[in-house]
Amino acid sequence: MRSKIAASISYVFLALSPVLLPACKNMSSKSHGPIVLGDSSTIVTEKDPRKLNDLVTDLQPDIPPAPNPDTAGKSEKTAETNNVKDTAKQTKPTQPVAENSQQTEEVAGLKAEFKEVTILLPGVSTKIAGNANLKNAKEAIYTLQDGSLEHNVLKIKGTITKVSQRVESVLIIKSKIGTLPLDNVTAKSEFEAVKAGRGGYPIVDIDEESLPLPKINNQTLRNAVTRACTRRKMNHKKVQEWVNTIANVHSANQKPLSLSLRSVIWKIDGKDSGGKAFSKQIRIDIPI
């Protein structure tokens, strides 16, 4: 029995010898040592394309670039500033504006203080006729001493419903022998409403082209010249010289006649603190 088992083992060993011997041969192959950089004999080159496939998926992470400290600081500062501005806009209180009322700050000029309203004409020097206390007055008359009305504005403090303006012109002779105002030859315009502008009520239509034209003829003009010369105590010869300058003049728009501003009148309508209506007038005379 034992001899049969030994014979069987020997037979199996002999059958596996062709397989085991090559494996042992490979395992016992000697080491070639470490790979030397630059030595082509130690480089293993794989030629099988199946073994050259990349079995690992490439990673492509989305990593944002690091922010520039200076830029980041400026961006944060700008955002903070914008937030402050937006907050300021939302919290800024709205200032109420009084309708038809201008500030009459303390500046040099004409200042008429009525009980219901205060009127300021800046940049002029005037002399008032009569009582300077206007608390209970309805009108005030001034004579212009210095400054100009052109391009000027009335500043009015109070509850105003309407401002109107009227101008008066006077006829003047301007010739080679001099200038002679004809004080009694005048014309007045109608009261015309003035619209409130920037800073007040502008003074308009006081240039020569806008002034009202007196209605005259040659006879009325001769009489006016004679009276003006007599008032100035001129002798007969001088009077005749002035009369001769207008011998062929028949209307106020002929040479040597010209127009000049004689006075400006403003009518101010409004309501007092109790809601009662009032009307005041201011007149400024311009010396000729």
Instruction: Report yes or no: 221 and 247 within 8 Å, Cβ to Cβ.
Output: no
Write the CA distances from 146 to 29, 271, 285, integer angstroms: 127, 32, 12
Cis? peptide before 96, omega within 30° of 0: no
Instruction: Report the DSSP beta bridge partners of residue 233.
Output: none
Distance CA 209, CA 188 (A): 14
Tell me the pLDDT tens digit for each residue of 186-243.
Answer: 999 999 999 998 889 999 999 999 999 999 999 999 999 999 999 999 999 999 999 9
| pLDDT reading at 95 higher than 50 | no
Report the chain's C-alpha Rg in angstroms: 55
Q: Output the pTM of the full model.
A: 0.62
pLDDT bracket for residue 96 (50, 70, 90): very low
Cis? peptide before 202, omega within 30° of 0: no
Higher-pLDDT residue of 241 and 99 is: 241
Q: Which of 137, 170, 152 is nearest to 263 (CA)?
A: 170
Q: Which of 170, 148, 143, 152 is nearest to 282 (CA)?
A: 143
- The domain limits of the chain are 109-285
Among the listed ranges 5-14, 95-104, 225-234, which one has the minimum average pLDDT value?
95-104
pLDDT of residue 34: 55
| pLDDT reading at 61 higher than 90 | no
Tell me the pLDDT tens digit for each residue of 253-280.
Answer: 999 999 999 999 999 999 999 999 999 9
Helix (H, G, I), strand (E, B) or coil at 72: helix
